[in-house]
Amino acid sequence: MTITLKLFELVDGKTRKISFSPAVWRAKFALNYKKVTYESVHVTFLEIPTVITGACPNVPAPTVPTLQLENGQGLPDSFAIAEYLEEKYPDRPSLFGATQSEKNLQRFFESYVQSKVHPSIQRMVFQDMYHMQDEENAHYFRTSREKSSGRPHAEIAGERSENLRELKESLGLIHTALKRSGGWVLGSHPGWADFVLASSFVWFSSCSPRDFKEGVLEAFPDQVIPDYWARIQEYVY
């Protein structure tokens, strides 16, 4: 079978094997859940502008993920990719549910994860992400993060104990929701909300497995989140 779709995804600079970007993983989860065949194209931070622009000239501001479609055009942004898949494969499991209200609710959950869950994870994985890069990508990663945060490299990660406390607090409502649903964020079937959350977990576990274990899997005295993490593995490939 000929593969016609290509997904450009960010990988570490040293091994070029670790796909850690939560934005990329949202697209990967959507593709895997829809059972869509695609080829992964690995790029490092510094390769994003040249490789994606070379393959998809229609993308003026190259970023990951970008999905190259059958016609050669590039489609950037994980949510745009999910909407494309939902429209193209309506006969396959839905990412957004049957109604606009379900879609809106999942987008609200996406905003919650990005604003409440991501910041503490971002601080905790910072040093590990830095050390995962080769020399040139490490320099880019460090200087770009120092510029965007307005802080020196040594201060960006913050205090580990405070990060863990903040993460547990932000996961509290999610833990309660999963405990009540008995399965996925919105009930018996996974959807976009789950893949947004799971993408942050993949990011954390890929970069900082020890902190992921303590900060996520052992955050609460039950198996709600570990069981959830085990269920999501069906779509991790």
pLDDT value at residue 2 = 58
Of the candidates 71, 84, 105, the residue with the CA atom closest to the CA atom of residue 26: 84
CA-CA distance, 161 to 158, in Å (whole number)?
Answer: 9
The CATH number of the domain where 106 resides is what? 1.20.1050.10
- Average confidence (pLDDT) over 102-123: 97
pLDDT in tens, 30-82: 999 999 999 999 999 999 999 999 999 999 999 999 999 999 999 999 999 99
pTM assigned to the model: 0.96
Asked if residue 107 and residue 82 are part of one domain, the reply reads: no
pLDDT value at residue 3 = 67
What are the two backbone dihedrals, phi and then psi, of residue 187, each rounded to the nearest 5 degrees?
Answer: 135, -125
pLDDT value at residue 95 = 98
Q: Is residue 116 part of a domain?
A: yes
pLDDT value at residue 182 = 81
pLDDT in tens, 182-226: 899 998 899 999 999 999 999 999 999 999 999 999 999 999 999
The Cα-based distances of 32 to 39, 67, 85, 115 in angstroms read 12, 14, 11, 26
Q: Is residue 83 part of a domain?
A: yes
- Cβ-based neighbour number of residue 227 at 10 Å: 13
Asked if residue 81 and residue 110 are part of one domain, the reply reads: no
pLDDT in tens, 147-178: 999 999 989 999 999 999 999 999 999 999 99
Residue type, 70: E
Asked if residue 228 and residue 159 are part of one domain, the reply reads: yes
Asked if residue 66 and residue 110 are part of one domain, the reply reads: no
Last residue of a domain, one of 61, 88, 115: 88
CA-CA distance, 112 to 123, in Å (whole number)?
Answer: 17
pLDDT at residue 4 greater than cutoff 90: no
Contact 50, 57 (CB under 8 A): no
